[in-house]
Amino acid sequence: MARQDIAGLLTGISSTQQPVQPIPGTPGFRGQFGAARAQGLGAGVGRMMRGGAPSTQERIQGAMFELSSPTTDGTAKDTATRIADLTKLARVQQVQGNTAAAAQTAAQVQQLREQALKVQQSKAALASREDVAAQVRSAGYGKIADAIVSEAGSGNKVALEGGIKLLTNLAQPPKKTILTPEEEFGLASRKSLFDADVKTVTGAAEKAGNRFTQYAPIVAQMKELTDQVEFGAGSVPLATVNQTLHSLGSKLGLDVGTLDPEADATLTYNSLSKRLKALLLEAQKGAISNLENTEITKNTANPSQTSNQAQALVNFLEAGLESDLNRSAAQRAWLEQTKSLTGFDAAWRQYVEDFPRTSGFTVDEDPLTKDKTVVSNFEMVKENFNLFNQLYLPSKGKAPVFVNKQGKGMTVDKIKKEIVQDRLNEMKKVSNNPNWKPTKQQKSLAELEARKNIGKLITLRISNGTYTVAK
C-alpha cells in the first residue's frame, strides 16, 4: 500500500517539504547527517524568519491532539464529529506505524458507533410505540393505547404486542365467504362469548390493580403497627395507634364509629384486621388456594389475637394482594392463547395448590425446654409466583411433568417428596443415630422446606437444563 502523506492529511502541507532523516550505516550517512544539521540550523533560522510560527511537525502534533479531543474550543463535539475525527486519527496513527494506538482509537470509534446506534434504535422504538398507540386510539381503543404508552421504558411489551395484533386484525380484508345461517349463528355466539371473556379479563385486571393500589399501603402500615400494639392480656390503650387505626379503617370504607382515644388499641386492631381480611378474601376469591384460606382462618380465629396471629394476618393479606395481580395477568395470557377462559379457573386452582402463595404456620418446639418458636408465619413465598404461564398454560391446565436428563418423568408432588426426604436424611445424619425416626414436628419442618423451596428448585433445574417441561 502506498504510504500516505501525513502532513498533507492533517495540515495540507506536502511531505516533500519535510526533512529526510539520515540513517546511520547507510551510504552517504555522513553527508546526510551534515545536511540534516544544516537543515536543523536552517529550521531554526526559518522559525526566526516565521516570527515564531510552529513548524510542520508541530502543526501535525497539534492537529492530532485536536482530533483526539472530545471538545472544540471548550464545546463538546457531537457524536458524528467525534467518530469522523477519531477515524481520521486512527488512519494517521496507522501510517505512522503506531498500530497499538491505532487499534485503541478504532475501538473508541466502534464504541461511539454502537452508542449512536442504540440511541437511534431507542428513538425509533419510542416513535414506533407512539405511532402504534396513535393508530390504536384512532381505531377506538383508547385504554389499550394508554397502556401501550404507559408501559414504555418498563421492558414490558404486552400492550404493544396486543396493539400490533389488534391493528393487524383490523387490517385484514373482510372475507367474502358466504356462511349458512347455522354458521353465522355459531360465529356470532363464539364472538359473543369471546367479547364477554375479554370484558371479564379487563374487569378482573382493573379490580386487582385498584385493590392493590388501595389496600397495599394500608396493609404495609398495619404491618408496622404490629410492632407497636401491645397484644394479649394487660395491653394498654395507645392513643396514637388508635388514631392511625381509625384513619386506616376510614380509608377502607369501614364503619369504624367515633374515635375513642381511651379504647384499647389491640381491640381496635383486631376488629379492623379481621374485617379487612373478610373484605379481601371475598374480593380475591380464587387468588389463593382453599387450603391456605382454611389455614389462615384457623390460625386467626381467636377473638383476641396474639402478636404472631396479627403478623400472620397482615402477611397473608400482603400475599393475597400480590397473588390477585398474578392471577389477573395469568388470566389475560390464558385468553390470548386459547381464545377462551374455559378451563382457566381449574388450571389456576391446581397451580396455587401445587405452589402455595405463603409459607403457612409452623412452630418448632425445643424437645428439652419445650420452648416454642414460630419458624413460618404466612410469609409470602415469592419464588412460587409467576410460574403459571411457563408450567400450566402450554398444557392448557394439565399438571406439569418434568423430564430429567435420564428421561425420567417427575411431577410436582414427587419433587416435593424428594425435598422432604432430603431434609429428613440430613436430620438423621446430624442425629448420629442409625435408628432415628422423625417426630411429627420434624416432618412438619421438612414439609415447610418443600413448601418454601419448590418453586425455586424447579425454576433452577429448568434454567440449568436438569429438567425440561414435557409437552
pLDDT higher than threshold 80 for residue 401 = yes
C-alpha torsion sign, points 289, 290, 292, 297: positive
Residues 363 and 374 sit within 8 Å (Cβ to Cβ): yes
3-state secondary structure 390-446: HHCCCCCCCCCCEECCCCCEECHHHHHHHHHHHHHHHHHHHHCCCCCCCCHHHHHHH
- pLDDT at position 370 is 81
Distance of alpha carbon 216 from alpha carbon 211, whole angstroms: 8
% of the chain exceeding 70 in pLDDT:
68
pLDDT tens for residues 1-48?
444 555 555 555 444 444 444 444 455 545 554 555 555 555 554 555
Neighbours of 306 (CB within 10 A): 14
Give the mean model confidence (pLDDT) for residues 211-233: 70
What b/e sequence results for 125-135 when a residue is b if at least 16 CB atoms lie within 10 Å of its CB, and e otherwise?
eeeebeebbeb
Distance of alpha carbon 270 from alpha carbon 309, whole angstroms: 10
Ramachandran sector of residue 177 (left: φ over 0; alpha: ψ -120 to 50; beta: rest): beta
Distance of alpha carbon 446 from alpha carbon 448, whole angstroms: 5
In angstroms and rounded to an integer, the radius of gyration of the C-alpha atoms of the chain is: 37
Highest mean pLDDT among 135-149, 168-182, 443-457: 443-457
Most distant CA pair in the chain, distance? 113
Three cell numbers written together for 242 = 388508635
- pLDDT at position 305 is 58
pLDDT higher than threshold 70 for residue 152 = yes
Higher pLDDT, residue 160 or 380: 380
pLDDT higher than threshold 90 for residue 423 = yes
Please write down the long-range contacts of 427-431, taking CB distance under 8 Å and 24 or more positions apart. none
pLDDT higher than threshold 70 for residue 326 = yes
3-state class percentages of the chain: helix first, strand second, coil last, to nearest 5: 65, 5, 30
pLDDT higher than threshold 60 for residue 88 = yes
User: Which residues fall within 8 angstroms of residue 61, CB to CB, at 6 or more apart?
Assistant: none
pLDDT higher than threshold 90 for residue 195 = no
Give the mean model confidence (pLDDT) for residues 422-427: 93
- 17-26, 84-93, 418-427 — which is least confidently predicted? 17-26
Higher pLDDT, residue 169 or 203: 203
- pLDDT at position 233 is 46
Distance of alpha carbon 193 from alpha carbon 223, whole angstroms: 42
What is the residue-averaged pLDDT of the chain? 77
- pLDDT at position 6 is 58
Distance of alpha carbon 62 from alpha carbon 53, whole angstroms: 13
Distance of alpha carbon 468 from alpha carbon 347, whole angstroms: 20
How many residues comprise the chain?
Answer: 471
Judge residue 146's burial from the number of C-beta atoms within 10 Å of its C-beta, 0-12 exposed, 13-18 middle, 19 or more buried.
middle
- 16-20, 65-69, 204-208, 403-407 — which is least confidently predicted? 16-20
Give the mean model confidence (pLDDT) for residues 130-151: 84
pLDDT higher than threshold 60 for residue 194 = yes
Higher pLDDT, residue 179 or 419: 419
- pLDDT at position 120 is 62
Distance of alpha carbon 355 from alpha carbon 451, whole angstroms: 7
pLDDT tens for residues 327-347?
889 999 999 898 889 999 999
Element (H, E) at 373: strand 372-377
Q: How confident is the model at residue 79 (pLDDT cuts 50, 70, 90)?
A: confident
Higher pLDDT, residue 290 or 180: 290
Instruction: Write down the pTM of the prediction.
Output: 0.55
User: Which residues fall within 8 angstroms of residue 393, CB to CB, at 6 or more apart?
Assistant: 330, 333, 334, 337, 347
